Amino acid sequence: RKEVEQDPGPFNVPEGATVAFNCTYSNSASQSFFWYRQDCRKEPKLLMSVYSSGNEDGRFTAQLNRASQYISLLIRDSKLSDSATYLCVVILYSSASKIIFGSGTRLSIRP
Amino acid sequence: DVKVTQSSRYLVKRTGEKVFLECVQDMDHENMFWYRQDPGLGLRLIYFSYDVKMKEKGDIPEGYSVSREKKERFSLILESASTNQTSMYLCASSLAGLSGNTIYFGEGSWLTVV
């Protein structure tokens, strides 16, 4: 089983729709969580950190569920410019710190 | 703004050639990383370094080596390139420790080995 798993998609939704996707992690030693966005043939860039209490940044909401070991990203009122691949990132603190990237969920917004 | 610069964006090399990928960051970050990204496999860590002259193997170090002689520069070396090393290579950096520190990526180096 992969340490971090994401539905690869693609999610194909109309402009203005709300879309959500999850990322599950297997190691309970996981301590820090992030969502990164990667455009086609570009480098990943930080979208937002994920806090235990949940956090919002404009149209984007991130949630963490430690009991079920997943994080989620919700995008409201989606725009064409939201089309990208969304990577979840988990940082483990066990014997040595480790950064683990999910394989990404591809999102395509259609007009 | 943090800048991570990968000087070679697109390279085509022959099997058996020695390949150097250079990465420079301008924010005095202690941590530097080399990843490769392949379709369906996501980002895989090759090597990382948490200080000058320090290096740690990542998940897929075979066929690669690294050099960190200066804090701002982290080089990835393919001693004898092979076709299965055709990939996009991403350099990244972050502040010391990993807790909550943003990882900044370079724009990537697309390597084709023929």
Note the pLDDT tens digit of each residue in A36-84.
Answer: 999 998 999 999 999 888 899 999 999 999 999 999 999 999 999 999 9
CA B98 – CA A32 distance, rounded (Å) = 9
- pLDDT band at residue B98 using 50, 70 and 90 as cut-offs: low
Q: Which residues in chain A have Cβ-Cβ distances shorter than 8 Å to B100?
A: 32, 49
Which residue shows structure tokens 């725009």?
Answer: A79
Cβ of A10 under 8 Å from any chain B Cβ?
A: no
Q: Which residues in chain A have Cβ-Cβ distances shorter than 8 Å to B98?
A: 32, 91, 93, 97, 99
The contacts of residue A111 (CB under 8 Å, 6+ apart) are A14, A15, A80
CA B65 – CA B6 distance, rounded (Å) = 17
Which residue shows structure tokens 């990164």?
Answer: A36
Cβ of A30 under 8 Å from any chain B Cβ?
A: no
Please tell me the total number of residues recorded for chain A in this structure.
111
Q: Using one digit for the tens of pLDDT, what is the confidence trace for B45-95?
A: 999 999 999 999 999 999 999 999 999 999 999 999 999 999 999 999 988
Is there a contact between A74 and A55 (Cβ–Cβ < 8 Å)?
no
DSSP state for residue B94 in the 8-state scheme:
E
> What is the separation of C-alpha B101 from the centre of its chain, rounded to a whole number of angstroms?
18
DSSP state for residue A77 in the 8-state scheme:
S
Q: Which residues in chain B have Cβ-Cβ distances shorter than 8 Å to A34?
A: 102
What pLDDT is attached to residue B61?
97
The contacts of residue B18 (CB under 8 Å, 6+ apart) are B77, B78, B79, B80, B81
Residue A17 has pLDDT above 60, yes or no: yes
How many Cα atoms occupy the beta-carbon half-sphere of A35 within 13 Å?
A: 30
Answer yes or no: do B98 and A43 touch at CB < 8 A: no
Q: Which neighbouring-strand residues pair with A92? A: A30, A98
CA B58 – CA B33 distance, rounded (Å) = 9
CA A51 – CA A64 distance, rounded (Å) = 7
